[in-house]
Structure 1
Amino acid sequence: MLSAYIDLALGLVLSFLMLSLLVSGLNEAFVRLLSIRSKFLWAYLRDTLDGADAKGRSWLPSGLRDVFASLPFVRDPRPAHNSHPAPAESAEMPARDTKAADAMTNLLYERVREIDHPKSGRTSIANLPPERFSVALMEMAAREPGGVEGLLEKLKSMGSPLYGHLHGVWETAQRDLNRFRQGVEGWFDSEMQRLTMLYSRYVKWVVALLALLVTLLFTMDGLEYAKTLLRDNAFRASVTAVAEAGPDAYSELKAQCEQADPVPCITDTLSQPALVKVLDHAIVNVTLPADGDPSFHWNGASWWDRLTTPSHWPGFLMTYVALLFGAPFWWDVFRRITGMRSRR
């Protein structure tokens, strides 16, 4: 009896792990295809270096609409890619009344573009090390007549939001260049941690949407699947009992399969465990014959009938909530049940 419950736990955990991996894979595919990480970084840099856009809007997402529409498809905060190496001297910082809205962003990109490679004509930089950011600022300050203080005065005259941050770091460093550089590194590193937390918070909404789509497309009823696992285990036990009992138990097995010949029933059940059969309800299912190539079948009518059946909705909800825990959670549960140990 204990073996049946262990099989039930393993089956549920494995199915949730597979679907969670699918959700994570889809999320990563969209992130890479749309360059979401790079856009988040440069949206933050634009807000910090140059402030809001011409319409007074922040570049970073301010709501779900920006996460699902504006940032991925409408507004691209990334600078245009430049394949030339950084010049020996950075360009002169323009005055506030003559500068473009992205002057500081372009100046920073000019100093870090040697680590860049193109992607759809835009920069692909998605991670800017704090050390490289501080060096870029020091190079920009070296271009000004007054050094760091000249840079701060220019930022103040331009109305750049970066002025307040750098001015605080400069005063804390007691106007020492080495301590100022280290202070800029620490400040930027903390800002990147804050940006990572903001990114993770918005990614949760994307994962929630993808988990809902996967649950509905596969019509994975967690409660029904649990019953299928128990029945599958019970049927395998009955087959073993018949094999041990001999020909006298053949009539019982024949009645259970409800077929004239129980051999196809036994073969089909033993070759297609519950984990495979439960995925047959997807909108497109895959058949893996013993001989020949896999075949895909449109299962729209059966899928829609199952989707609109209220008795399956509690099972769909169970699956959806399980997928929100994520693949790392279910992998950890799977390791604990099976006794697998992680290797460093």
Structure 2
Amino acid sequence: MLGSSVLEVAIGLTFCYGTVALIVTTLQEALAAAFSLRANTLLAGIKSMLNDPRFDGLARAVYAHPLVNPHALGSASDEHDLPSRPSYIEPAHFAIALVDSLWKTPCHFLQLAGAIDAIPDPQLRKALQGLYGRARDLQHFQDMLAGWFDNAMARMSGAYKRQQLLISLLLALLLAILFNIDSIHLFRVLWQQPALAEHLKEAPAQLDSATMQALLALPVGWTHFPPVLGIDFALQVGGWLVTASTALFGAPFWFDLMQRVVRMRGTGEKPAEVPLALRLESRAAVGSATR
């Protein structure tokens, strides 16, 4: 009975946390698409790389290149005039666009040094001169530019992921408060009534009405509002924080864990171990019967 209760509690908690993480991921993707977070992060990274915060130099020229932004007309005066912003740029395409922006008409590789020396920003000029001085030919120079772009985007990706983790935490906390998904209360009720989680057979494949109905069948939601300030409310806030923090692990983690626990429940209880005396007795009986 103890093992069954533990499994039911684990299934209920993992289903709840996985569903919350799935809802948070869906909301986060919707926000990223609505506010073009990836495209804006990429634009900020390129402006930082090329030391063009006002978007009136090389960054604008790169974004006007058809390999980087094929939907742009190349006439945008600032970043707000861009009709579209790419969410991803191929490093090789960035390198070609930057080289084409440095020299207006393709010419010999040796003549590219003059275009680099004419860059007004000293930091950017020094960086490109260092890459150019180590390049054997134009292709090698473009390869090094692509590597430089990769490294810069890796740093921007780390900053973007930290930003997304904060957004995930805030969304999960908001969701926990709205639906009153209190992990402490949920654990207590499931421990006392493990049958509440018996209907959970498998992890959902997507966020749909059936998933939401299964979530609301668990002991979540408001019974009285507003809450009364006190010790119980402090525990409730702690339960909200626990629920919000679990969303950082992601829905795949919780649903994979739930599938494992469900398989454990399906195997049933482990048979009781037969005492040693009975095993010896049965062996003796089998030996005498075969004689």
The TM-score, its normalising length taken from structure 2, stands at: 0.70
Q: Is 2:12–2:197's contact at 8 Å kept on the other side of the alignment?
A: no
CA distances 1:6-26 after superposition (whole Å, capped 9, x unpaired):
111011000000011111111
Counterpart of 1:324 in structure 2 is 248
SS where residue 52 of structure 2 aligns? coil
* Matched pairs, number: 237
C-alpha change, 1:229 and 1:117, in structure 2 (3 Å) is: farther
- For 1:169, which of 126, 131, 138 is the aligned residue? 131
Counterpart of 1:220 in structure 2 is 181
Please tell me the residue identity of whatever aligns with 1:184. L
Counterpart of 1:153 in structure 2 is 117
C-alpha change, 1:211 and 1:167, in structure 2 (3 Å) is: same
Counterpart of 1:278 in structure 2 is 219
- 1:120-135 to 2 correspondences below 5 Å: 122-135=83-96
- 1:88-99 to 2 correspondences below 5 Å: none
Alpha-carbon shift at residue 314 of structure 1 (Å): 3.1
RCO comparison, higher one (Cα < 8 Å, 6+): 2
CA distances 1:37-95 after superposition (whole Å, capped 9, x unpaired):
11111112112224344xxxxxxxxxxxxxxxxxxxxxxxxxxxxxxxxxxxxxxxxxx
- For 2:170, which of 204, 209, 219 is the aligned residue? 209
Distance 2:40 2:149 in 1: 17
- For 2:227, which of 305, 320, 332 is the aligned residue? 305
Distance 2:238 2:100 in 1: 60
Q: Is 1:11–1:275's contact at 8 Å kept on the other side of the alignment?
A: no
Counterpart of 2:30 in structure 1 is 29
Q: Is 2:135–2:141's contact at 8 Å kept on the other side of the alignment?
A: yes
Correspondence 1:138 to 2:99 = yes
CA distances 1:80-120 after superposition (whole Å, capped 9, x unpaired):
xxxxxxxxxxxxxxxxxxxxx51212211121355347999
CA distances 1:225-257 after superposition (whole Å, capped 9, x unpaired):
1222233336899xxxxxxxxxxxxxxxxxxxx
Alpha-carbon shift at residue 199 of structure 1 (Å): 1.0
C-alpha change, 1:188 and 1:339, in structure 2 (3 Å) is: farther
The TM-score, its normalising length taken from structure 1, stands at: 0.60
User: Identity of aligned pairs, percent?
Assistant: 27
Counterpart of 1:244 in structure 2 is none
Alpha-carbon shift at residue 136 of structure 1 (Å): 1.1
User: What RMSD over aligned residues (CA atoms) do the two structures have, in Å?
Assistant: 3.1
CA distances 1:249-274 after superposition (whole Å, capped 9, x unpaired):
xxxxxxxxxxxxxxxxxxxxxxx978
- For 1:196, which of 145, 152, 157 is the aligned residue? 157
Alpha-carbon shift at residue 183 of structure 1 (Å): 1.1
C-alpha change, 1:280 and 1:117, in structure 2 (3 Å) is: farther
Please tell me the residue identity of whatever aligns with 1:304. P
Distance 1:130 1:315 in 2: 45
Distance 1:113 1:307 in 2: 56
C-alpha change, 1:234 and 1:35, in structure 2 (3 Å) is: closer
Please tell me the residue identity of whatever aligns with 1:221. D
Please tell me the residue identity of whatever aligns with 2:98. L
CA distances 1:290-327 after superposition (whole Å, capped 9, x unpaired):
xxxxxxxxx8xx24227873342332232223223332
Q: Is 1:225–1:274's contact at 8 Å kept on the other side of the alignment?
A: no
SS where residue 219 of structure 1 aligns? coil
C-alpha change, 1:182 and 1:140, in structure 2 (3 Å) is: same
SS where residue 122 of structure 1 aligns? coil
Distance 1:236 1:38 in 2: 42
Please tell me the residue identity of whatever aligns with 1:115. P
**Which stretches in structure 2 are left out of the alignment for 5+ residues?**
74-79, 199-212, 265-291
